Amino acid sequence: MVAQQFEGVLERHHCLRIEALNEPFDPHRHEAVSQQPSNEYAANTVLMVTQTGYQLHDRVVRPSQVIVSAEAPE
């Protein structure tokens, strides 16, 4: 319940969570911590979010730490 209230306060001040899952990797909003081969997703797609990022208006306060897909070896 406290976490929901905290999220509400952040949203009221226009500090929004960066949605990254299954999105194309964007180095301005995401920080890649690892790559993982995948046959299911195109290369450079976010497979997993390890730490949520936030942006205040148009400025990134903390980038999302993500695991990014890579081409699967033949």
- Distance from chain centroid for Cα 38: 18
pLDDT at 5 over 80: yes
Q: What's the token pair of residue 50?
A: 């390890």
pLDDT in tens, 52-67: 999 999 899 999 999 9
- Which residues have CB under 8 Å from 63's CB, separation 6+? 18, 28, 29, 30, 31, 53
Residue 32's φ and ψ, nearest 5 degrees, are: -80, 125
**What is the pTM (predicted TM-score) of this model?**
0.81
Q: What is d(CA 15, CA 28) in angstroms, rounded to the nearest whole number? A: 16
Using a 10 angstrom Cβ sphere, with 0-12 exposed, 13-18 middle and 19 or more buried, the burial of residue 37 is: exposed
